[in-house]
Homo-oligomer: A and B are copies of this chain.
Amino acid sequence: MQKGERTRQAILEQATNLASVVGLDGLSIGNLATHTGLSKSGLFGHFGSKENLQVETLKAASSLFKDRVVVPALAVERGVPRLNELFERWLSWDTNTGLEGGCIFITASAELDDKPGQARDFLVLRWREWNEVIRRIAEGAVERGHFRSDLDCTQFAYDLNNIFFGFQHAARLLGNEDAYKRVRASFERLVRDSKR
């Protein structure tokens, strides 16, 4: 790997972390320059535009998420164990990767919903893929006989996302100390309902 690529990766690592705290809007070129110690122009050399920086930041975060959450979960046996692994990895992926602001995708979702452009498009694609991952895992649980055969797996994915969104809010804005207890109770209820 050459210097440019190494620098670029280092920048994206910091950009991802910063964006998880201050959002993509707060990820200004100037703010990032301060954090990386590079000049603004130097950053532009790597990314060309703020929009592209945002897109690349989301891409970097997606890779991280895939490596730390999705792929390891898919290595677990199908059915409820896989789902449990996915859930636990989702819960801890931010802290395990050093993201100080929680799940960057949730933060970005609120920001980008009224901002058409490449970043929004990319994010929407990722959410759809993520929904598909959950849906397939739920289907696997049905096939293994863990979940009832008439489960609406799309609804399951929808409900699991509810849980993630609510958790971020409870943990981040409200600083609920019992947010982990609550989110687990929500998840267990969803799993229980999927069995009956």
* Secondary structure of the A contact surface, majority rule: helix
> Do A166 and B169 touch across chains, with their CB atoms under 8 A apart?
no
> Do B173 and A166 touch across chains, with their CB atoms under 8 A apart?
no
Interface status of A64 (Cβ within 8 A of chain B): no
Q: How far is the CB of A32 from chain B (nearest CB, A)?
A: 16
A109 to B123, CA, bound (A): 19
> Do B173 and A158 touch across chains, with their CB atoms under 8 A apart?
no
Given contacts A127-B173, A169-B109, contact A185 B155 (CB under 8 A): yes
Which B residues lie within 8 Å of A101 (CB)?
Answer: 113-114
Interface status of A35 (Cβ within 8 A of chain B): no
Interface status of A88 (Cβ within 8 A of chain B): no
> Do A174 and B110 touch across chains, with their CB atoms under 8 A apart?
no
Q: How far is the CB of A116 from chain B (nearest CB, A)?
A: 11
> Do A127 and B174 touch across chains, with their CB atoms under 8 A apart?
yes
Contact with B along A111-133 (1 / 0, CB 8 A): 11110000010011001100000
Interface status of A74 (Cβ within 8 A of chain B): no
**Among A21, A25, A159, A185: residue with most chain B CB under 10 A:** A159
Q: Range of interface residues on chain A?
A: 35 or more
Contact with B along A87-114 (1 / 0, CB 8 A): 0000000000000011000110111111
Which B residues lie within 8 Å of A25 (CB)?
Answer: 25
Which B residues lie within 8 Å of A174 (CB)?
Answer: 124, 127-128
Interface status of A52 (Cβ within 8 A of chain B): no
Interface status of A161 (Cβ within 8 A of chain B): yes
Which B residues lie within 8 Å of A165 (CB)?
Answer: 162, 165-166, 169
Which B residues lie within 8 Å of A195 (CB)?
Answer: none
Question: A: which residues have CB within 8 A of B?
Answer: 21-23, 25-26, 101-102, 106-107, 109-114, 120, 123-124, 127-128, 152, 155, 158-159, 161-163, 165-167, 169-170, 172-174, 182, 185-186, 189, 193
